[in-house]
Homo-oligomer: A and B are copies of this chain.
Amino acid sequence: MTHLHPDRLFPASEPAQTIARQLYAEVQGLPLISPHGHTDPAWFANNARFSDPASLFLTPDHYVLRMLRSRGLSYDDLGVPRKDGGPVASGRDAWRLFAANYHLFAGTPSKTWVDHSLMAAFGIEEELSAQTADAIYDRIDAALATPDLLPRAILDSAKVEVIATTEFALDTLLHHQKMKADGYLGRVRTTYRPDDVTDPSRPAIAENLQKFGELAGEDITRWAGLINAHRNRRDYFRQHGAVATDHGVPTANTADLPLVEKQALLDRVLAGSHTAEDAELFRAQMLTEMALLAVEDGMVMQIHAGSRRNTDPLLLAERGTDLGADIPGTTDYVNGLRALLARCGNEPNLRVIMFVLDETTYARELAPMAGYWPSLMIGPPWWFHDSPQGIRRYLDQVVETAGFYNLAGFNDDTRALLSIPARHDVWRREVCGFLGRWVGENRLSRSSATDIAKHLSYQAAKDAYRIK
């Protein structure tokens, strides 16, 4: 079966193929570090069985849904819930539609991840199709009832050593509290993502800020109180395993305003009188504030910049966010981070991991910046780009200027639990393929390549995220 060939993704020609295969043999079995992602902490806290195949593979996977939608299939027929509670297809009907259109995924990472998951978790090697849809559905459904497919068992069999979830600043971390109580915290960790209280373009921003102040016991109407509230919440998140913060921002812009301007900006945001420019400036200033707090507390700061969210207003109104209508745009990291870096870029305790959806910044901005600033590292290819070709373009463009050791290893960044080992496997294969090509061109020694393959497969992520 092509989609499960043991040499898949390796260079097709020798000597690179053999070198890649040998390198892969050394990293294939290493544990997985998953320092950034969006799995549901309730899974690991409660360890309850997953309900059914469609809600595991289809409904939460916007990569899969969007592709089907793009070829004319409706979200109703794919079982995507509506805000108005109107009827949508059942799990089995949606699954059949997915299976009957599975050829659309030829050449996409989605197919790689689904094929890998079906094989690794369920032992299924047949290709998904109209013919096999029901049999595969039944086989998955049956397996989900077994202890082997409970969430914690999945982490065990996938050798996930550490996995971070992502919670907003207002989250009370109930599931992480439970895991703290039963000793599972540490393997599962939270991440502090304060977008709900740093992004004034959210309709509920004033209300969120008020709740935030209450939760932290601080007067968030004063700038110092707002910062103190973050200080407190960051500490609370650290007590629940957090080693990092995460910031999903449309641009990488940062600012470093005088206090009087910051207070005035906050006043406008709280009053709801802020403009779009104010919102951008507030986000920009908050990134710098988060960096200053990171200098204090040592949390690693992730910046995920550049997505234009919710570009389809109809979809947003009908079914909500995260369903495929977020599209990347150009991003300017060099001018964007200027204020933050001028303020604290040389602080030894600061670490910022940069993620981007605009690949033109890899060689032009990210690699030169990470190759100079001790506080900056380059995150792995993100979202649309953690694919085989995406990883090749990334390594092609960052390594020569930033070296291998300014890279933060791999993130799977997924909501789809079963795809985690599949995604790490693609990364490891591509890293080994890349190194195999370079050893084959006599530009890197075999021993260096082995060190680097191991580093990028495992230790780089632990080091980058300061996971002890």
Q: Which A residues fall within an 8 A CB radius of B?
A: 2-3, 5, 7-16, 66-67, 69-72, 103-109, 112, 308, 311-315, 324-325, 327-330, 332, 334-335, 338, 341-342, 345-346, 348, 357-360, 363-365, 367-374, 376, 384-385, 387-390, 393, 396-397, 399-406, 437-446, 448, 451-452
Contacts of A10 in B (CB 8 A): 441-442
**Interchain CB contact under 8 A, B335 and A308:** yes
Q: Which residues of B contact A385 (CB under 8 A)?
A: 363
Q: For A451, what are the chain B residues with a Cβ–Cβ distance below 8 Å?
A: 103
Determine which residue in A12, A358, A393, A406 has the highest number of CB atoms from chain B within 10 A of its CB, and name it: A12
Q: A107-B403, A402-B70 known; A368 and B445 CB under 8 Å?
A: no
Residue of B nearest to A387 (CB): B400
B441 touches A8 (CB 8 A): yes
Cα distance, A360 to B362, chains bound together (Å): 11
Could you name 9 residue pairs across A and B whose Cβ atoms are closer than 8 Å?
A: A2-B445, A70-B373, A70-B406, A106-B403, A109-B400, A311-B334, A312-B346, A328-B364, A360-B360
Q: Given the known A-B contacts A70-B374, A437-B12, A442-B8, are A314 and B400 also in contact in the complex, defined by CB atoms under 8 Å?
A: no
CB distance from A65 to the nearest CB of B (A): 9
B329 contacts A335, C-beta separation under 8 Å = yes
Q: A8-B443, A389-B396 are in contact. List 16 more A-B contacts (CB 8 A).
A: A8-B442, A9-B441, A10-B442, A12-B440, A12-B441, A66-B372, A67-B371, A70-B374, A107-B404, A107-B443, A108-B399, A312-B341, A359-B363, A360-B360, A363-B393, A384-B400
Known A-B contacts A107-B404, A334-B311, A399-B107; A325 and B12 likewise in contact (beta carbons under 8 Å): no
CA distance A64 to B112 in the complex (A): 40
Specify which chain B residues have a CB less than 8 angstroms from the CB of A12 in the assembled complex.
13-16, 437, 440-441
- In angstroms, Cα B328 to Cα A367, docked, is 10
Whether the pair A443, B14 counts as a contact (CB closer than 8 A) is no
Chain B: minimal CB distance from A320 (Å): 15
| A15 CA to B10 CA, complexed, in Å | 13
Q: Is the CB of A367 within 8 A of B338?
A: no
In the complex, the answer to whether B444 meets A107 with C-beta atoms within 8 Å is yes
Instruction: Specify the chain B residue showing the minimal Cβ separation from A448.
Output: B106
Closest 7 CB pairs of A and B: A12-B440, A5-B442, A2-B445, A8-B442, A13-B13, A387-B400, A66-B372
Contact B308 A334 (CB under 8 A): yes
B-chain residues with CB within 8 Å of residue A439 when the two chains form the complex: 2
Do A405 and B9 touch (CB < 8 A)?
A: no
A448 vs B438: C-alpha distance when bound (angstroms):
28
A335: chain B residues at CB < 8 Å are: 308, 329
Q: In the complex, which residues of chain B have a beta carbon less than 8 angstroms from the beta carbon of A324?
A: 371-372
Residue among A14, A311, A372, A405 with max Cβ neighbours from chain B (10 Å):
A372
Min CB distance, A146 to chain B, in Å? 31
**Contact flag A365-B403 (CB < 8 Å), given A334-B308, A442-B2, A442-B8:** no
Q: Residue of B at shortest CB range from A377?
A: B70
Q: Cβ of A400 and Cβ of B388 under 8 Å apart?
A: yes
B72 touches A374 (CB 8 A): yes
Whole-angstrom distance between the alpha carbons of A71 and B451 in the complex?
17
CB distance from A452 to the nearest CB of B (A): 6
Task: Say yes or no: A367 contacts B384, CB within 8 Å.
Answer: yes
Contact across chains for A384 and B403 when beta carbons are under 8 A apart: no
Contacts of A360 in B (CB 8 A): 330, 358-360, 364
Residue of B nearest to A373 (CB): B70
CB of B443 within 8 A of CB of A66, answer: no
Q: How far is the CA of A107 from the CA of B374 in the complex (A)?
A: 19
- The residues of B that contact A404 with a CB separation of less than 8 Å are 106-107
| Residue ID in chain B nearest A452 by CB atoms | B106
Determine the distance from Cα of A451 to Cα of B385 in the docked complex, in whole angstroms. 25
Q: Which of the listed residues A70, A314, A329, A342 has the most CB atoms from chain B within 10 Å of its own CB?
A: A70
Q: How many whole Å from A47's CB to the nearest CB in chain B?
A: 34
Are the C-beta atoms of A332 and B334 separated by less than 8 Å? Answer: no
Give the CA-CA distance A346 to B70 in the complex, in Å.
10
* A327: chain B residues within 8 A (beta carbon): 334, 365, 368-369, 372
B108 touches A400 (CB 8 A): yes
Task: Say yes or no: B70 contacts A371, CB within 8 Å.
Answer: yes
Distance in angstroms between the alpha carbons of A363 and B315 in the assembled complex: 23
> With the chains together, A183 CA to B342 CA distance in Å?
49
Contacts A308-B335, A334-B327 hold; do A442 and B7 have CB atoms under 8 A apart? yes
